[in-house]
Amino acid sequence: MSDTKLYPVPAEFAQNSLLNDSAYQAMYKHSINDPEAFWREQGQIVDWIKPYSQVKNTSFQPGSIDIKWFQDGKLNVSANCLDRHLKDNANKTAIIWEGDNPADSEKLTYQDVYEKVCQFSNALKAQGIKKGDVVCLYMPMIPEAAIAMLACTRIGAVHTIVFAGFSAGALAERINNCGAKLVITADEGVRAGRIIRLKDCVDKALAKPQVTSVNNVIVFARTKADIAWHEGRDLWWHDVVKDQPSECEPEAMNAEDPLFILYTSGSTGKPKGVLHTTGGYLVYATMTFKYVFDHQDSDVFWCTADVGWITGHSYLVYGPLANAATTVLFEGVPNYPDTARMSQVIDKHQVTTLYTAPTAIRALMAKGDDAIAGTKRTSLRLMGSVGEPINPEAWRWYYNTIGNSSTPIVDTWWQTETGGILITPLPGATALKPGSATRPFFGISPALVDNEGNLLEGENEGNLVILDSWPGQMRGIYGDESRFEEAYFSTFPNMYCTGDGAKRDADGYYWITGRVDDVLNVSGHRMGTAEIESALVSHSKIAEAAVVGVPHDIKGQGIYAYVTLNAGEKADDALEAEVKQWVRNEIGAIATPDTLHWTQALPKTRSGKIMRRILRKIATNDTDSLGDTSTLADPSVVDTLIAEKQNA
C-alpha cells in the first residue's frame, strides 16, 4: 500500500469546495471530543416542528443497548424534503426521471413533487392508512416510487421497500414479517428492454395463505399492460389520487418514531428488518449528502442505485431532496441500449455528480472506450463508489475514462445498518488513494480489533468496529429486539461490529477488505450464504448444500454452491438448469448460483458443522494450505472434493 500514488485534491475543486483539509480536521476533532455539542449544532441542518433539547442518549453496553437521538424533538421528513424548499426553490427541478428507453425522460420541480406527494398522502389516508401502519413498496424506478416514500413519511406511515427483483416468495416473507397493510406496485417494470411483471408477482405473494395483513394494493399504470384484477382489493394509482387535494398537513413525528424498515441479509437466519427512525436518520442522511458530495446548488446528482436498497433511500431520495438538490432517477441499466448509456445520460442531463457501484464500473471497463463513445462527460465534477471494495484498477479506469482524469472519487463505505456513509473521503479535503475509503466522517470513531476484541493500534489489519453511536445508526431489528444486540454488539462488547475486515495504513486511511462473516456481496447485493442454502435444500432432490463466495471479475463475488443429492437422484445438465431456476424463483435472479458443484458429502467436523473455510479454499483452487483438517469427521471428503474440482 505504501507505493500507492496519491491523488491530491485538484486545485480547481478546492477553490469552491465546502471544506478543506484543516476544516475537516477541526470539525472531526470537535465531533469526537464533544459529540453532544457537535450534534446539537448539526441537528439544525433539518427543520424541527418542535426543537429538541436532548441530543445523544446512547449506550453500547451489554444488556442495555439503547440508541436515541434528538429524542424530544418533532419533525416531518417530507416537509424537510419538500415544503421548506418551496419558498426559494419551487421551480427548481427536484427529480429528473430518465426512462429505460432513451426517448423517455421527464422533469419534476419541487412544486410538482410537493403536490403529488400531498395528493398521494391524502389517498393513503383515504384507504385507512394511519401513522405507524406499515406500507410495502414493490416498485420500478419511476418518480412514483419516491412520491410514495415521501407520502408515507408525510402521514407517519412506515415504508418497507422490497427490491423489485425479489421473488414472490421473498416478497411474501417480508410483508408477513412487518405486517404491511398496503402494497404499492406497478403493473409492470421495464429494464434493459425487458418487461418485469410486478403486479403478477404481488398477486402471487398475496395468494400465499400465511399473508393476511394486506387490505389493498395500489397499482401505478407504468406500461398499461393487461393484468389480473382483484376487485375490492386492487386500486389504480390514478383513481385514488384523482379527487384528492394537493395540500396535506405533515404529521409531527417524534424523532424516534419509526421511519422505515429495510430488509437485509445477515450471516444467519432470515433477512433482518433493519429499523431506522425519523430524526437521527434524516440529520445524518442530509449532512453526509451535503459534505461527502460537496453539494452545490447547481449540481445535478445521479445515484444509480435502486430505491430498493439503502443507497436508494439515503442518496437517491432523502439526502438529495432534504438538500434541495436535483436528483436523477434512472429506470434502466448502465449498458442498455448500448455500452455508452451511462455516459450518454451524464451528457444529456449535464450530471455533475455520479454515484455508482464497482460492479457497474468493472462491467463497463471490460468494454474499454466503448463505454464513453460519442460522449464528453465534461459536466462531471465528482464521482462516487459504493457497495463493495473497489479494486485499484477499476478505480483508475473510472477516474481516467469516465472522469476524464479530472474529477475526485469518493469511495464511500457504509451499510444498510448505518443509515448513511461512515468512512469516506471529503472531496475538497482528502487526498485519495485508489481502493481506500480513507477517513471517518464526522462523529464516527472506527477502530480495528483482533478476534478477541483487543484494540489494534497504528498500521494494522483486523475486524472493523465503531466505538460510539451516530445519528443514522439503525435502532433495532423489526419484530426481533433480542437479535439486535446479538447480531451487532455481542461479538465485541461495547462496540458496533460491522462484519467487515479492514486495514489501516500509516496515514490512518482505512482499506475495507470485505466481509469476515458468512455474508456475500454479489454485484453489490448483499446475501447470506444461509439464505441461498436454505433455498437450495428446499428443492425436493437436494439433500444438503453449502454456499461460499468466490472472486468474480465483474460481480466482485460469485456464488459457488456445493450440493449433495438425495439417494437415487442423478446430477446432469437438466438438473443444473432446474436448480438454478429454483433458486431464482425462491429468492430472485441476484441469488442464482454461478457454479453448482455436485458431490457426495460435505466436509464436517465431528459435531456436524460444515467447514466453510475449507470449501472456500477448494472453490478457489487454494488447496496448498488447507489449514487444520484434523477435526474433520471424514478427512477423505476433502480429497474427493479437490479431485472433483480439478476435473470439473
If the CB atoms of residues 278 and 412 are measured against ligand WT7, the closer one turns out to be: 412
Contacts (CB under 6 A) with ligand WT7, residues 287-326: 310-311
Q: What are phi and psi for residue 565, nearest 5 degrees? A: -100, 160
State the number of binding residues for ligand WT7 (CB under 6 A).
23
Q: SS3 for 447? A: strand
526 is an annotated ligand-binding site residue: yes
| 371 near ligand WT7, judged by CB under 6 A | no
Which range of residues in 56-64, 117-125, 149-157, 385-393 is near ligand WT7 by CB under 6 A? 385-393
Binding mask 263-292 for ligand WT7 (x = CB under 6 A): -x----------------------------
Write down the least CB distance from residue 56 to ligand WT7, Å: 23
Which range of residues in 394-402, 405-413, 585-593, 628-636 is near ligand WT7 by CB under 6 A? 405-413
| 512 near ligand WT7, judged by CB under 6 A | yes
214 is an annotated ligand-binding site residue: no
Residue type, 421: I
* Interface pick for ligand WT7 out of 98, 100, 188, 500 (rule CB under 6 A): 500
Q: From CA 18, how far away is CA 293, in angstroms rounded?
A: 10
**Cis previous bond, 271, omega within 30:** no
Sheet order of strands, 353-356 included: 105-109, 93-98, 326-330, 300-303, 353-356, 382-386, 409-412
If the CB atoms of residues 512 and 587 are measured against ligand WT7, the closer one turns out to be: 512
Write down the least CB distance from residue 314 to ligand WT7, Å: 8
Write down the least CB distance from residue 71 to ligand WT7, Å: 26
| The Cα angle at residue 215 between residues 211 and 217, in degrees rounded to 5 | 95
| 42 near ligand WT7, judged by CB under 6 A | no
Give yes or no for a contact between 217 and 251, defined as CB atoms under 8 angstroms apart.
no
320 is an annotated ligand-binding site residue: no
146 is an annotated ligand-binding site residue: no
Contacts (CB under 6 A) with ligand WT7, residues 178-217: none
Give the single-character DSSP code of 401: I
Which range of residues in 31-39, 116-124, 137-145, 413-421 is near ligand WT7 by CB under 6 A? 413-421
| 409 near ligand WT7, judged by CB under 6 A | no
How many other C-beta atoms lie within 10 A of the C-beta of residue 552? 16
* Interface pick for ligand WT7 out of 389, 403, 440, 603 (rule CB under 6 A): 389
Which range of residues in 31-39, 93-101, 408-416, 595-603 is near ligand WT7 by CB under 6 A? 408-416
Q: What are phi and psi for residue 464, nearest 5 degrees? A: -85, 125
Q: Which of 564, 556, 168 lies closest to 362, judged by CA?
A: 556
Cell numbers describing residue 67: 440508541
Binding mask 43-82 for ligand WT7 (x = CB under 6 A): ----------------------------------------
388 is an annotated ligand-binding site residue: yes
| 521 near ligand WT7, judged by CB under 6 A | yes
553 is an annotated ligand-binding site residue: no
Contacts (CB under 6 A) with ligand WT7, residues 583-622: none
Q: From CA 557, how far away is CA 549, in angstroms rounded?
A: 6
Q: What are phi and psi for residue 426, nearest 5 degrees? A: -105, 125
| 515 near ligand WT7, judged by CB under 6 A | yes
Q: From CA 128, how far away is CA 122, in angstroms rounded?
A: 10
Nearest-10 Cα torsion for 177, 536, 165, 275 = 30
Give yes or no for a contact between 127 and 235, defined as CB atoms under 8 angstroms apart.
yes
First-to-last C-alpha distance (Å) of the chain: 36
Cell numbers describing residue 355: 454515484
* Interface pick for ligand WT7 out of 112, 256, 388, 517 (rule CB under 6 A): 388
Alpha helices (runs of H) in 127-268, residue ranges in sequence order: 143-155, 168-178, 198-207, 237-241
If the CB atoms of residues 143 and 271 are measured against ligand WT7, the closer one turns out to be: 271
* Interface pick for ligand WT7 out of 100, 144, 251, 411 (rule CB under 6 A): 411
Residue 333 buriedness (CB in 10 A; 0-12 / 13-18 / 19+): middle
584 is an annotated ligand-binding site residue: yes
Write down the least CB distance from residue 418 to ligand WT7, Å: 7
Write down the least CB distance from residue 264 to ligand WT7, Å: 5
Q: Give the pairing type, strands 258-264 and 476-477.
A: unpaired
| 121 near ligand WT7, judged by CB under 6 A | no
HSE-CB of 227 using CA atoms within 13 angstroms:
29
| 364 near ligand WT7, judged by CB under 6 A | no
Q: What does 211-260 look like in DSSP terms, one character per residue?
A: -----EEEEE-SS-------TTTEEEHHHHHTT--S--PPP-EETTSEEE
* Interface pick for ligand WT7 out of 176, 296, 375, 415 (rule CB under 6 A): 415
* Interface pick for ligand WT7 out of 279, 320, 387, 443 (rule CB under 6 A): 387
If the CB atoms of residues 220 and 511 are measured against ligand WT7, the closer one turns out to be: 511
193 is an annotated ligand-binding site residue: yes
4 is an annotated ligand-binding site residue: no
Q: Which of 639, 632, 538, 641 lies closest to 599, judged by CA?
A: 641
347 is an annotated ligand-binding site residue: no
Cell numbers describing residue 574: 437438466
Q: Give the pairing type, strands 353-356 and 216-220.
A: unpaired
Residue type, 610: I
Which range of residues in 165-173, 296-304, 467-475, 496-504 is near ligand WT7 by CB under 6 A? 496-504
Give yes or no for a contact between 71 and 256, defined as CB atoms under 8 angstroms apart.
yes
Q: Which of 104, 53, 67, 109 lies closest to 85, judged by CA?
A: 109
Give the residues across from 564 on adjacent strands.
544, 599
Which range of residues in 70-78, 380-388, 542-550, 580-588 is near ligand WT7 by CB under 6 A? 380-388
Contacts (CB under 6 A) with ligand WT7, residues 143-162: none
Cell numbers describing residue 563: 450440493
| 526 near ligand WT7, judged by CB under 6 A | yes
Write down the least CB distance from residue 467 to ligand WT7, Å: 17
Give yes or no for a contact between 111 and 86, defined as CB atoms under 8 angstroms apart.
yes
Residue ranges at the known binding site for CoA:
191-194, 311, 335, 523, 584
- Enumerate the known binding-site residues: 191-194, 311, 335, 387-389, 411-416, 500, 515, 523, 526, 537, 539, 542, 584
Report the interface residues with ligand WT7, using CB under 6 A: 264, 310-311, 385-389, 411-416, 437, 498-500, 512, 514-515, 521, 526
